[in-house]
Amino acid sequence: MLQFLKYVLATIVGLLLFSVVAFFLIIGIASVVGSASESVTLDDNSVLKLDLNKSFTEHDNVSNPLSDFSGPFISNKSQVGVVQLKQALAYAKTDSKIKGIYLKANSPSTGWAVLEEVRNALIDFKKSGKFVYSYGETYTEQGYYLSSVADKIYLNPSGGIDFNGLNAEYEFYKGTFDKLDIKPVVFRVGNYKSAVEPFLRENMSEENREQTKSFLNSIYNQVLDEVSKSRGVSVAELKTIADSLKAYEPTDALKNKIVTNVGYYDEFDTAIRKALKINEDQKVNYVNLDKYQKTISADKDAPNTDNKIAVIVAEGSIVDGSDDSDGQIASEKTAAEIRKARKDKNVKAIVLRINSPGGSGLASEVMWREIQLAREKKPVIASMSNYAASGGYYLAMGCNKIVAQPTTITGSIGVFSLFFRVDEFTKNKLGITFDRVNTNAHSDYPTLTREMDDFEKAHFQRSTDRFYEVFTNKAAQGRKMPVEKLRALAGGRVWSGLEGKQNGLVDELGGLDKAISLAASEAKLKSGEYRVRYPAKKEFFETLFDTVDAEQEARLLNSTFGDLVPYVQKLKKLQTMNGLQARLPYEINIR
């Protein structure tokens, strides 16, 4: 027995020593790579290879010196930072060593507003006279929209393009809850406040169908207008091509000018070499986005001034507290960032970049207050990304001006409260029942284990109505319009950015650069008189163990639930939806 314990102890000590050595080994590698990255050089006649078949985030704020390596805990970036991508394109435009771009954007994973922002940056790059060539075996609708700016678009002879129009699909869970004997308890304001429909219905309401058709067609028309300009094909022709599926077959796509070439990768490679004026024996100097970013400095051309415009990124669902993990906007943390920018005398204006479908009503109110305090000292401009709706619009409406892309999804000015009554589920499925003793008539209110009485329901509805009144009054004040007019646009209705502009919910159409320019103008700063301050990057080791934990959790979910993982993750999100909410329909999937 003693010998066995010795072996066990030796094993434990060995594992601990291995963990310590491995940890310091990673630190050593990171230090070496970090030092090496400072001396990255770029060859002449290089091509910037943009692999955009990833998910997008507004600002990549994680510094990873091991991004060129791979392994269980070290992987190449799976996300593209929009700010960093646009900075790279702006530098590549004037970089004499970059001759063109190889665009690999077959199936990017993001919304239409971010795609429009990146697409406009590619169009600006092309003004340099440098080429943009795209190759794909297949293209999704989003991928083709981005790739349609290219001078040459290659499609594999056996591939195809998903160019058949947009659709928005919602999932409904009423049948699931009925089978489980779980009763959603809902209080809402607004005929269009459809965020609760997945729990109450098996299909879309007429109001939801009406608003979805409206904003979907608005987004689609914007997409077709831009594709038409790039490809020299009329919008009417593009609609005919989509209706007839004439872009799916490569030969039809070529015939209808959707692509410029049908060919294999080696033929695309030959076209790149021809553009670079090199023969087939010479190597093409490709540089990926991560490496190219190491050759440039964000401050290289920044003016020598203390004046700053602070960009604060609010991305994800809005939640109470300070935990901003899992893509959340934590009210306390974001409010603190706004407060810090307000008190910084060198910050002359603030741009709040919003990419959020909404969330907690209370958290939205907490951040709105900080925005109000900030705009008393300096201009605050809202820049809407893919989403700035419901709670996201709550943040924007407090700003001096609102800038949105035509394809942004916004509005949804409405409120709902959601609870899930589980007593029948626990009794019928698990055999668990509940009983209680109260000191007062409503000591256990609100509870999930019994039905609310009429008095309690009326009380909660009044609270929901009261918050809607606050929401619409503040929105009307922020937009400088009569509250009656604002409420005619509210009721939870979702609008595209273009529709929002037409209805007075948005001031200007454009991206983040437009918002920064407007902030400078409001602060009476001319070009060259200010710097743009983006969120500070987190050091690699600040996020290393978070990344490890996230990957372990992902592996556990996959091993336990397999194909059901997306649904398990959605059920986890329900935990953040209890109580008063200002958010979009549960999930809008536009493709």
- Residues taking part in catalysis: 193, 390
Helix (H, G, I), strand (E, B) or coil at 533: strand
Looking at residue 48, its amino acid is L
DSSP codes, 311-330: EEEEESEEESSS--TTTEEE
Looking at residue 478, its amino acid is G
Other CB atoms within 10 Å distance of the CB of residue 1 = 5
217 phi/psi in degrees, rounded to 5: -65, -35
- Tokens 């291995």, residue? 18
Q: Please give the Cα distance from 131 to 183 (Å, whole number).
A: 58
106, 138 contact by CB (below 8 A): yes
CA 569 and chain centroid, separation? 17
DSSP codes, 233-266: --HHHHHHHHHTTTTTSHHHHHHTTS-SEE--HH
CA torsion angle 517 522 528 532 (round to 10): -60
- In our burial notation (b when 16+ CB lie closer than 10 A, e otherwise), range 261-287 reads bbbeeeebbebbbebbeeeeeeeebeb
For 133, how many CA atoms within 13 A lie in the half-sphere containing its CB? 23
Helix (H, G, I), strand (E, B) or coil at 468: helix
Q: Please give the Cα distance from 450 to 434 (Å, whole number).
A: 8
Looking at residue 337, its amino acid is E
Question: Whose CA is closest to 572, among 233, 261, 327?
Answer: 327
Structure token pair of residue 432: 């668990």
Question: Whose CA is closest to 131, among 232, 271, 278, 283?
Answer: 271
425 phi/psi in degrees, rounded to 5: -65, -50
Q: Write the burial class of residue 123 (CB in 10 Å: 0-12 exposed, 13-18 middle, 19+ buried).
A: middle
Helix (H, G, I), strand (E, B) or coil at 431: coil
Looking at residue 80, its amino acid is V
405 phi/psi in degrees, rounded to 5: -75, 150
Q: Helices 235-243 & 206-231, crossing angle to 10 degrees?
A: 120
Other CB atoms within 10 Å distance of the CB of residue 529 = 13
225 phi/psi in degrees, rounded to 5: -60, -45
Angle at Cα 389 formed by Cα 579 and Cα 572, nearest 5°?
A: 45
- Tokens 């698990």, residue? 430
* Euclidean distance between the first and the last CA atom of the chain, given in angstroms as a whole number: 64
489, 413 contact by CB (below 8 A): yes
331, 366 contact by CB (below 8 A): yes
CA 80 and chain centroid, separation? 11
